[in-house]
């Protein structure tokens, strides 16, 4: 089951904290969208980037990947319900 949650740095696991970008105000001050499928973290999106880099062709390009991944998970779960 897909879950999409807005979380803070403190809500991430130690491993997830390590791999976050430290741009902008720093990873400790960033906001995160954590996408999980059951207990597996699928993707973490961060708003930790320099304002001038916040474009869909640069630091926000991962939003497209997140939408595609959520769609695939939704199709998978929908097929399970219909079978």
pLDDT digits (tens, 9 = 90+) for 21-78: 888 788 999 999 999 999 999 999 998 888 888 888 887 888 999 999 999 999 999 8
Can you give the pTM of this predicted structure? 0.82
DSSP class of 49: S
Distances (CA, A) of 54 to 44, 46, 51, 57, 71: 16, 11, 5, 8, 24
Where in the sequence is the domain holding 10, given as residue range(s)?
2-82
Contact 41, 16 (CB under 8 A): yes
At 6 the pLDDT is 97
Structurally, the chain folds into a number of domains equal to 1
């Amino acid at each position: 089951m897909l879950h999409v949650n807005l979380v803070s740095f403190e809500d991430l696991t130690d491993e997830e904290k390590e791999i976050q970008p430290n741009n902008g105000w720093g990873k400790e001050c960033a906001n995160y969208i954590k996408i999980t499928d059951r207990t597996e973290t699928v993707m973490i999106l961060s708003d930790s980037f320099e304002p001038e880099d916040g474009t869909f062709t640069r630091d926000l390009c991962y939003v497209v990947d997140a939408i595609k991944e959520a769609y695939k998970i939704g199709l998978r779960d929908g097929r399970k319900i219909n079978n």
